[in-house]
């Protein structure tokens, strides 16, 4: 795999894991208080994150290209029914556990062993659902993990 | 542990920081940042026997690494991690609640093809209609369930 791709993925992953842990999302109380609408912290983080990302994406769209991944392709898909009820089920789990796939990592990393149970359930639930058929033209960017090297058109000598 | 970080990063640091992560993964690697996809590739794919994208596995490993780093540097460390819940529910009830909640998270994320990071952060930032809808529903459902639980437990939770 392209070294730049790997390094970027790793770098962003580390930063992401660091930030969700440092922002206390691994703490059930932090999430729970927000979902009880008693604390605005979670929403402030969430909204500012989306706002900043959206702003940078506006700039990225203008250049139209990515550093290591070819022409920029942003996800843009229509609402499908299974996503609606999937989201509702996810939300229910989110409310019950005060955790999500990422924050549960933060929880376990900070010693919250309850998060392991949530993660076990997460994997179980995914297996229970089974593979979803991806419709044609799905929203995931279709990036080759290993970009083909550019071949010279004319071979030089023997 | 080392208490080099505050217990809670200020929102104006954490939020924009996360936003930059989302934008960076798009701008550098042309990829949508999402943790549920990473769990799928890393754990579910081997179980179900299909090839999970390697970058997602590496991404998950990196997220775990970053989380551990923050834990070591920071102040917030608690065992079990469910103080209110474990005070209100006996262990016999807490365990199934957490496991069932996790089940819902996994089932729902796979159905929805994303979670609070994939749809919530990355998809919303790119303005994808399905992500915007999914995120609104995530939070509406979470709040509704939270209030329902509060009512059912008479305010204990």
**Which residues touch B52 (CB under 8 Å, ≥6 apart)?**
B40, B41, B42, B44, B45, B46
Residues of A in contact with B7 (CB under 8 A): 24
Q: List, in sequence order, the alpha helices (H) in B11-53.
A: 11-24, 35-39, 45-48
Q: Which of A90, A100, A123 to mutate to test the interface with B (most CBs of B within 10 A)?
A: A90
With pLDDT > 90 as the criterion, what percentage of chain A qualifies? Answer: 75
Half-sphere exposure (CA, 13 Å, Cβ side) for B88?
Answer: 13
What mean pLDDT is predicted for residues A54-67?
95
∠ Cα B13 B15 B19 (to 5°): 115
> Could you say which of B58, B98, B149 has the minimum Cβ distance to residue A10?
B58
What mean pLDDT is predicted for residues A42-68?
96
What mean pLDDT is predicted for residues A143-158?
40
User: How many Cβ pairs closer than 8 A exist between chain A and B?
Assistant: 487
Residues B62 and A135: their CA atoms lie apart, in Å, by: 30
Residue B117 DSSP symbol = I
For B6-63, the pLDDT digits (tens) are 778 999 999 999 999 999 999 999 999 999 999 999 999 999 999 999 999 999 999 9
Which region, left, alpha or beta, applies to residue B113 given φ > 0 means left and ψ of -120 to 50 means alpha?
A: left
pLDDT exceeds cutoff 80 at A151 = no
pLDDT band at B77 (very low <50, low <70, confident <90, very high): low
pLDDT band at B84 (very low <50, low <70, confident <90, very high): low
pLDDT exceeds cutoff 50 at A156 = no
Would the CB atoms of A52 and B23 count as touching at under 8 Å? Answer: yes
> Per the structure block, which two tokens stand in for A65?
């290209």
Would the CB atoms of A96 and B123 count as touching at under 8 Å? Answer: no
What mean pLDDT is predicted for residues A107-123?
93
> Per the structure block, which two tokens stand in for B124?
């919303």
Looking at the complex, does the CB of residue A127 fall below 8 Å from at least one CB of chain B? yes
Please report, in angstroms and rounded to a whole number, the separation of the first and last CA atoms in chain B: 28
Quote the pLDDT of residue B79: 61
H/E stretch holding A40 reads: none
**Which residues touch B92 (CB under 8 Å, ≥6 apart)?**
none
Separation in Å, CA of B135 to nearest CA in chain A: 7
Reported pTM: 0.89
pLDDT exceeds cutoff 50 at A149 = no
Residues A72 and A74: their CA atoms lie apart, in Å, by: 6
Q: Among A2, A9, A3, which Cα is nearest to A146's?
A: A2
Average pLDDT of chain A, as a whole number: 86
Burial track A3-25 (b if 16+ CB lie within 10 A, e otherwise): eebbebbbbbbbbbbbbbbbbbb
For B96-109, the pLDDT digits (tens) are 999 999 999 999 99
Q: Which of B3, B8, B31, B46 to mutate to test the interface with A (most CBs of A within 10 A)?
A: B31
pLDDT exceeds cutoff 60 at A140 = no
Quote the pLDDT of residue A148: 37
Residues B79 and B93: their CA atoms lie apart, in Å, by: 18
Quote the pLDDT of residue A141: 40
For B119-139, the pLDDT digits (tens) are 999 999 999 999 999 999 999
pLDDT band at B94 (very low <50, low <70, confident <90, very high): confident
∠ Cα A142 B111 A115 (to 5°): 100
């Amino acid at each position: 795999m392209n070294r730049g791709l790997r390094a970027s993925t790793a770098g962003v992953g580390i930063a992401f894991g660091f930030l969700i842990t440092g922002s206390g999302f691994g703490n059930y109380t932090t999430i729970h208080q927000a979902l009880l609408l008693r604390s605005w912290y979670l929403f402030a983080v969430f909204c500012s994150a989306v706002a900043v990302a959206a702003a940078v994406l506006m700039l990225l769209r203008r250049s139209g290209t990515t550093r290591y991944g070819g022409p920029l392709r942003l996800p843009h898909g229509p609402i499908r029914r299974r996503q609606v009820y999937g989201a509702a089920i996810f939300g229910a789990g989110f409310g019950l556990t005060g955790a999500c796939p990422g924050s549960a990592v933060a929880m376990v990393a900070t010693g919250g062993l309850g998060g392991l149970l949530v993660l076990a359930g997460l994997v179980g639930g995914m297996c229970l659902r089974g593979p979803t058929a991806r419709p044609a033209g799905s929203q995931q960017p279709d990036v080759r993990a290993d970009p083909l090297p550019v071949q010279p058109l004319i071979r030089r000598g023997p | 542990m080392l208490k080099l970080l505050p217990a809670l990063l200020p929102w104006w640091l954490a939020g924009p920081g996360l936003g930059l992560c989302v934008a960076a993964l798009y701008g550098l690697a042309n990829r949508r940042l999402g943790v549920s996809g990473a769990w799928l590739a890393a754990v579910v794919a081997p179980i179900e026997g299909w090839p999970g994208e390697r970058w997602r596995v590496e991404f998950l490993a990196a997220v775990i690494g970053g989380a551990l780093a923050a834990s070591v540097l920071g102040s917030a460390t608690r065992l079990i991690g469910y103080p209110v819940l474990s005070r209100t529910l006996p262990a016999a009830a807490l365990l199934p609640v957490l496991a069932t909640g996790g089940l819902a998270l996994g089932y729902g994320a796979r159905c929805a093809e994303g979670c609070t990071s994939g749809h919530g952060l990355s998809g919303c930032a790119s303005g994808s209609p399905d992500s915007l809808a999914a995120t609104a529903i995530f939070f509406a459902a979470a709040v509704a369930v939270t209030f329902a639980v509060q009512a059912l437990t008479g305010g204990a939770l």
